[in-house]
Amino acid sequence: MTFAPGLLHKLARPSVMEKGQRIVVIDDNANDLQVTRRLLERRGYDAVPALSGDEGLELAQQLLPDAIIVDYRMPGMDGFEFTRRVKADPELQTIPVLMLTGSDSAQHVVEGLGAGADDFVTKGSDIEIVVARLRALLRMKAYQDQLRRMNQQMTRDLQIARRVQEALMPERALASARLQIRSAYIPSEVLSGDFYDYFLQDDRLYLFVADVSGHGLPAAILVSLLKSYIHTEAASDRSLHEFMSRLNDFLFSVSLPTQFATAALFRVQEGRQLVYANAAHPPFLLYQHERKRTELLESPSNLLGAMPNMPFEEHSLTVAPGDTLFVYTDGLTDRMNANQEFYSIDRVAAILERHGGADLGTVYDAIYNDVAEFSATEEFKDDIAFVVTRFQ
């Protein structure tokens, strides 16, 4: 590589940004290589020379430098092939490559950028141009490295948050003298606000299924607040519609302006009474063992947390031994496969009727397998939560 004459006196003391950064320089011309090395070292860089593409590639793999300068024309592995190999290597592909191209050759520039070079400089250019291009590439790499570190940290944080969220879920199975429960939580790649819980209080079973809007940590935090509130405020002497109204005001007070939730709350009482209140949640299924049929029960209502002082209704029905309740979040019916088909709740209804006389484990496995085998596209893949309850 040949630089314009009379430029060595222009070399300033190295800046803090440049100091210590390692640059692998590759050129088959030994004189040009030493000149380049000397210029870079005067700028404060740690310049490591290589006389061939093979030697340069080996050095790059060993040292993982901050940047690489490579001549386009060399015997054996030329600059284009060298760059292609660097960009194909997962360990090296983020290292910026500055290619030295033939004078005024647009074709060389096109070939160099096509091979993956991050920038180019014409051989014989002013040293200030070379250093300026190198600085720009190093700044870009520093930004990208910072973003990668931030992304890795965010990924770790989300993994921890997901584990915390899953820990908030109850045991996947519950059995009492009056009922059995099996539940499923099928996570997607993104932390979401799908949530369910069931617990006994005052000899009454509470079942709560909710879906908080949005994804990520804000949704997960709101889920934890919901769980705490439900366990603290649930009381047998309070109607469910009153409970939902208070829950709505609480959610409105602690959530972001764009956050809300859908929810369904059930309470199993004496005399096989199933009392429930709904907040814009998807309809639930009730398989009636005696009639051998499944009903879709829907009760439109207001969202939770969207506005304060909203009213909610309470409903009641009687369940019999062998009846099966199926409650879910809308990630189930929002699931679309490559054939543009949405997962239909009718599929679950058919499974309940087909396996109505079987034990709960068999029913649960049939539903879970059917959902899991319904291959959703990435665009329509969301967390899925569902709870299957068999009354005895």
Contact 48, 23 (CB under 8 A): yes
- What's the pLDDT score for residue 235? 81
Contact 192, 215 (CB under 8 A): yes
Taking the C-alpha atoms of residue 180 and residue 193, their distance in angstroms, rounded to an integer, is: 25
- What's the pLDDT score for residue 241? 93
Residuewise pLDDT in 10s, the chain (392 residues):
444 433 333 333 333 344 579 999 999 999 989 988 999 999 999 999 999 999 999 999 999 999 999 998 899 999 999 999 999 999 999 999 999 887 656 777 777 777 889 998 887 778 788 899 999 999 999 999 898 898 888 777 777 767 777 777 888 899 988 899 999 988 775 566 788 999 988 778 999 999 988 776 777 788 888 888 998 888 877 899 999 999 999 999 998 888 899 999 999 988 889 999 999 999 999 999 999 999 999 988 999 999 999 999 999 999 999 999 999 999 899 888 888 899 999 999 999 999 988 999 999 999 999 998 888 776 656 778 999 999 99
CA distances for 265 relative to 208, 286, 327, angstroms: 5, 15, 10
Q: DSSP letters of 157-171?
A: HHHHHHHHHHHHS--
Contact 157, 139 (CB under 8 A): no
Q: How many CB atoms lie within 10 A of CB 28?
A: 18
Instruction: Kindly list the structural domains of the chain, giving each domain's residue range(s) and its CATH number in brackets, ordered by start.
Output: 8-149 (3.40.50.2300), 169-391 (3.60.40.10)
- What's the pLDDT score for residue 177? 85
- What's the pLDDT score for residue 160? 73
Taking the C-alpha atoms of residue 63 and residue 91, their distance in angstroms, rounded to an integer, is: 11
Q: Is the pTM of this model over 0.75?
A: no
Taking the C-alpha atoms of residue 83 and residue 53, their distance in angstroms, rounded to an integer, is: 9
- Locate 222 and state its tokens: 């709101």
Taking the C-alpha atoms of residue 234 and residue 299, their distance in angstroms, rounded to an integer, is: 22
- Locate 311 and state its tokens: 């009213």
Tell me which H or E stretch contains 286.
Answer: strand 284-288
